[in-house]
Structure 1
Amino acid sequence: MKKKIVFLLSWTLMSMQLCAQVNPKPGFVITNNGDTIRGVIDFRTNERLAKQCDFWAAGETKGETYKPGDIEGFRFDNGGKYFVTRRLNVTGTPELYFAEFMVQGMMNLYCVAYNQDEYFFFEREDGEMAQLTKRAFFTSASIHEQSSRVEEQREQYGKVKLLLKDSWKAAEEIKGGDVSRKQLVNAVRDYHKDVCTDGSSCMVYEYNEKSDGPKNHFKAIAGYSYYTHERTAYQTLEDENYSGSTFEAGLGFETELERVTKGGALELCVVYSPQASFKHHTMVRGGHESSYTIYKKARCMGSIGLLKRYGKGKIVPLIRVGGFYVLHLGNKEERYYMSKMIVDKDWEQTNHFGAYIGGGVEMALGKHAARLHADLFKSLESSGKGNMMKFGVTAEYVL
C-alpha cells in the first residue's frame, strides 16, 4: 500500500509540472530598433524570465520565444516587472541576460536570478559598475566555498559603497548580512535624492515590490469523513480494524504558484473533529457472545500540500496531494463482555502522520471560490502503530 501511495504522489507531482501551461499577463516587447509590440507575456519565475521571453503579439495565436539579444527588452503592464538585455558577468564569463530593472536613472540597478541566487548590478551613469550577490538560503557549498563567498561578499560591499560615495546615506544603507530587493532599491533612491541637483528625482523607473508577491487566500473548511483501520491507544486484540465517521471543520491558507505552474497553489490547513465513538466487535475464544470495544477521541489534523486547477471557465477540476499530521485528543477506551464493562481507561495523546491525494471541482464566485473535493488519507507509519485510512468529502470557501 505504501508503494502505491508513493507512486500516486510522484505521478501527481510530475503531472502538475508537465501541465504547467502558460501564465499570460499583458505587456509589450521592445525591439532592437526601439519599436514596441503589445501583447501578452508568459509571467514565470525570475530565473526563467532572465533566460527567455515567451510572447504573443496582440491578435496573434502563434507565439514567439525571444532570447537575450533578440530584443531590447520587455515589460509587464500595470507597474509590472521590466527586463532589458544586458551583457553581465554572472558565472565568471560575461553573457547576455534579460536583466530585471530595479531602478532606472543616474544609477541603474539590475537583478539577474540564476541557479537559485540573485545577482545585483549597480551601474553609474558614467558606466562604472559594481556587483552584489545574494546567495540562496539553502546551499550545498563546502566550508572552503563558504569561506570564499564570505570574502567575495566583503569585497563586493566595499566596491558598491565606493560607487555610492556621492551619497553618504545610500552608502550607509549597504550593510553586510541580508540583501533584499527593497533594501537595495531604497539605497539607490536615496542616492538619487542626494545627487540630483535640478530638483527632479532623476529616476525613470522603480521596481514595484508587489509585482513579485504571490496572491494569498484564507479559506473556511467543513467536511465529513469515514475512518477505517483505526488503532486504539492500547490495543491487545489481533484485529485492528476500528471504523467510524465524524464531522470536521477548520481553516486554511493558500499562496498561489502561478509563476511556477498555472493554476497551482501551496495550501496549509488545520481541521478539528469533535470526539466521536469507534466501535469494534470480536468473538472472544471460548466465549458465549461477542466482545466489543468503544474507542472515543477527538482529532486535530494539520496538512500541507499542493493544489492544481486545470482549464478555464467558471467550474474547473482540481487535484490535491500532500502530507498530514494528526494529533488524537481525549483518548478513552471502554470494553464490554456479556454486557459488563471490563475496561474503562483514559490514555495519553497519540498521533500519526501520512499522505493524502484527492480531486474535485472549483466554482468561481466573483473574487472568491467554492470547492468540493473527495480525498484519501493514509497513515505511512509501521503497522504496529496503526494503518489508518480516511475517506473524506470536504467543502471549502476561498476568500
Structure 2
Amino acid sequence: MPVIHLHLSVSLYVLRNTLIGALLLMSVPALPQTNFKPGYVLPLSGDTLRGQVDSRGERRNATVCRFRPSSDAAVTEYTPAQLRGYGFTSGREYQSQTLPTAGKTQVFVQALVVGKTSLYRYADQDDTEFYYAQAAPGTALLPLVQSDTTVVEYNQQTHAETKTRTRVYPFRNVLWTIMADCPAVQTTLTRTELAESQLVKVFSAYNVCKGGEQRVTQRPKTRLRFAVLGGGYQADVDFNGNIEKELHSSMRPSYGIGIQLHPGSFNQHLSIVAQAIYVEQEYSAAYTGTGSLGSGYERTLQVNLSSVRVPLLLRYSLTRGPVRPYIQGGGVFAVHTKHEGQETDYYPRFSSQVTTTPLDLRAYGTGLTVGLGVLISTGQAGDINLEARLDSFDSTSQSSGLLSGARGLSLLAGYTFGK
C-alpha cells in the first residue's frame, strides 16, 4: 500500500502537517456531535412532552432517548423502561417494547406500520436489523425470520459434490396466521421476501383491508446529488536512480465532476462520494554527477503527467447549520492520459552531444486520500464546498522504485446541487 512520505519540500510539508493537525482536531469533537431535532416523548403516564430529541443512529436510538424541552434546556436521558415511546415531528416513531428473546430485553423499536397489525424494526449493537410483527395492540412481538441454507449432495458414481442453496421463509407462516381474515393480502405472502419495502406494503395492505387508521413510516429515501469542482494540485515524487532526488511539481489547475450518494439506510452523517478529477503534474530537476565516463556530467530529469483521477470516498459531515465541516477518506484510481518522462545527459568535458533516455512510466496508479472541508449552504439550491485533500500513490514508473512515493495536496472549491 502507498505510504505518505515525510521527506517533503518545506512549503508542502507545512501545508500537509497543518491539514493533518486540523483533521485530528476536527475529528475529536465531530464524531460525538449531538443531533437534536424537533420531537416528543411519551411518559408512562400524563401528557406528551414536546421539545427536541437527539437522533444518533439506530443502535443508540434503540437503547436511550435524550430529550430537552428547548435548545437551551438541560438534557434528560430516558431508558425504554421509563417511556412508552418517543418520536420526531418529521415522522419517525419509536415504541418501548419487550423483545421475544430469552432475556426479555426491553428496547425502543422503530414503528414502521402502526395499525390493527403493526410492523417494527430493531437494530442491535452489531447493526443487524430484525423485524417484528404485532398481531394486535398490546400483544407480544412476533419475530419475522428467513434464512438461507446450503444442502450438499454427494454422487457416488461421479464422486462429485453438488451444493444447492435453499431459502426458507418462516416469517410467511407467521403472517399467514395473522392475516388469515384477509385472503386478498394473504395470497401475496408466497411472493414476499423479508425486505422492509415489501413488509411495509403487506402490512399497509392488510390494515386497509380491515379498516381503521394506520401510520406508516419508512426510512429516508436514497438521495443522489451532482457536483462540479475545481482548484489546484501540488505534488512531489522521489527519483531513485544513480542518485536520490526529490522532484517537485508546482500548484497546477485541476477540475472535475462528482456525485454524492446519501443511502437511506446509512447514518445521516455519512455519504459516499465518487469523483472524476483532471490533474496535471510537471516535474523537473537538474544536477551534476559521476557517470561511466567520470565526473562532471550534467543530467536533467523531466516528467509530465496528465491524469484522470477517480476517488471513492466515505464522508462524515455535520448535518445542521449554515456551515458544516466534514472529513473524508478512501481510495483513488488514476489513469494517466499523458505519461512522458526522460533523462537528458550532457558531458561538456568530452562532447557537446546531448544523450536523451526515455523513462518508462506506468499508465495508471492507485493510492489513498484523506481530507477535510466545509459545506456552506445556499438554501435548497445546494452547497458550496471548500476542501483540502492529501493523497499518496504507488510507483509512477514501470521499474519499481525509480519514480515512487508520489504524494500531493489538493485545494478544491466546488458546488453540490440539491439537498
Shared fold (TM-score greater than 0.5)? yes
Which residue of the partner structure matches residue 310 of structure 2? Answer: 302
Question: Cα 1:22–1:283, aligned 2, differ >3 Å: closer, same or farther?
Answer: same
Which residue of the partner structure matches residue 244 of structure 1? Answer: 249
Q: 2:93 aligns with which of 82, 92, 98?
A: 82
Deviation at 1:59, TM superposition (A): 6.7
Verify the 8 A CA contact 1:12 1:321 in the aligned structure 2: no
Q: 2:335 aligns with which of 311, 327, 332?
A: 327
Q: Which amino acid letter does the alignment assign opposite residue 92 of structure 1? A: A
Pair 1:283 & 2:278 matched: no
Distance in 1 separating the partners of 2:372 and 2:109 = 40
Which residue of the partner structure matches residue 106 of structure 1? Answer: 116
Deviation at 1:54, TM superposition (A): 0.8
Which residue of the partner structure matches residue 365 of structure 1? Answer: 378
Distance in 1 separating the partners of 2:226 and 2:81 = 42
Write the deviation string for residues 121-154 of structure 1: whole angstroms up to 9, x where unpaired.
Answer: 222238475321478x9xxxx99xxxxxx99964
Q: Which amino acid letter does the alignment assign opposite residue 396 of structure 1? A: G
Distance in 2 separating the partners of 1:159 and 1:213 = 28
Which residue of the partner structure matches residue 342 of structure 1? Answer: 356
- Bigger mean CA deviation after superposition, 61-70 or 362-371: 362-371
Distance in 2 separating the partners of 1:314 and 1:110 = 35
**Counterpart mapping for 1:5-24 below 5 A:** 12=24, 15-16=27-28, 19-24=31-36
Verify the 8 A CA contact 1:130 1:160 in the aligned structure 2: no
Question: Cα 1:298–1:42, aligned 2, differ >3 Å: closer, same or farther?
Answer: same
Q: Which amino acid letter does the alignment assign opposite residue 73 of structure 2? A: T
Deviation at 1:271, TM superposition (A): 1.0
Pair 1:93 & 2:103 matched: yes
**Counterpart mapping for 1:75-224 below 5 A:** 75-78=87-90, 80-89=91-100, 91-114=101-124, 115-125=126-136, 127=139, 130-133=142-145, 154-174=169-189, 178-194=193-209, 196=210, 201-207=211-217, 209=218, 211-213=219-221, 216-224=224-232
The size of the alignment, in residue pairs, is 372
Uncovered stretches (5+) of structure 1, i.e. residues with no partner: 144-149
Task: State the SS of the aligned residue for 1:387.
Answer: strand
Question: Cα 1:271–1:52, aligned 2, differ >3 Å: closer, same or farther?
Answer: same
Task: State the SS of the aligned residue for 1:189.
Answer: helix
Q: 2:393 aligns with which of 379, 382, 397?
A: 379
Verify the 8 A CA contact 1:41 1:56 in the aligned structure 2: yes
Which residue of the partner structure matches residue 410 of structure 2? Answer: 392
Question: Cα 1:320–1:101, aligned 2, differ >3 Å: closer, same or farther?
Answer: closer
Verify the 8 A CA contact 1:326 1:352 in the aligned structure 2: yes
Which residue of the partner structure matches residue 72 of structure 1? Answer: 84
Q: Which amino acid letter does the alignment assign opposite residue 378 of structure 1? A: S
Deviation at 1:2, TM superposition (A): 5.3
Question: Cα 1:84–1:152, aligned 2, differ >3 Å: closer, same or farther?
Answer: farther
Question: Cα 1:33–1:214, aligned 2, differ >3 Å: closer, same or farther?
Answer: farther
Which residue of the partner structure matches residue 353 of structure 1? Answer: 367
Distance in 2 separating the partners of 1:17 and 1:270 = 31
Distance in 2 separating the partners of 1:130 and 1:360 = 46
Q: Which amino acid letter does the alignment assign opposite residue 87 of structure 1? A: T
TM-score (norm 1): 0.78
Verify the 8 A CA contact 2:226 2:416 in the aligned structure 1: yes
Distance in 2 separating the partners of 1:170 and 1:230 = 68
Task: State the SS of the aligned residue for 1:291.
Answer: strand
Distance in 1 separating the partners of 2:402 and 2:185 = 62
Distance in 1 separating the partners of 2:191 and 2:123 = 20
Task: State the SS of the aligned residue for 2:201.
Answer: helix
Q: Which amino acid letter does the alignment assign opposite residue 212 of structure 2? A: C
- Bigger mean CA deviation after superposition, 306-315 or 327-336: 306-315
Question: Cα 1:172–1:130, aligned 2, differ >3 Å: closer, same or farther?
Answer: farther
Verify the 8 A CA contact 1:22 1:262 in the aligned structure 2: no
Distance in 2 separating the partners of 1:193 and 1:134 = 25
Which residue of the partner structure matches residue 63 of structure 1? Answer: 75
Distance in 1 separating the partners of 2:296 and 2:286 = 13
Which residue of the partner structure matches residue 42 of structure 2? Answer: 30
Deviation at 1:3, TM superposition (A): 9.3
Distance in 2 separating the partners of 1:243 and 1:153 = 61
Deviation at 1:35, TM superposition (A): 1.1
Write the deviation string for residues 217-254 of structure 1: whole angstroms up to 9, x where unpaired.
Answer: 332111211111156xxx75533533224321112333
Task: State the SS of the aligned residue for 2:199.
Answer: helix
Distance in 2 separating the partners of 1:259 and 1:189 = 21
Verify the 8 A CA contact 1:107 1:192 in the aligned structure 2: yes
Uncovered stretches (5+) of structure 2, i.e. residues with no partner: 7-15, 152-164, 347-352
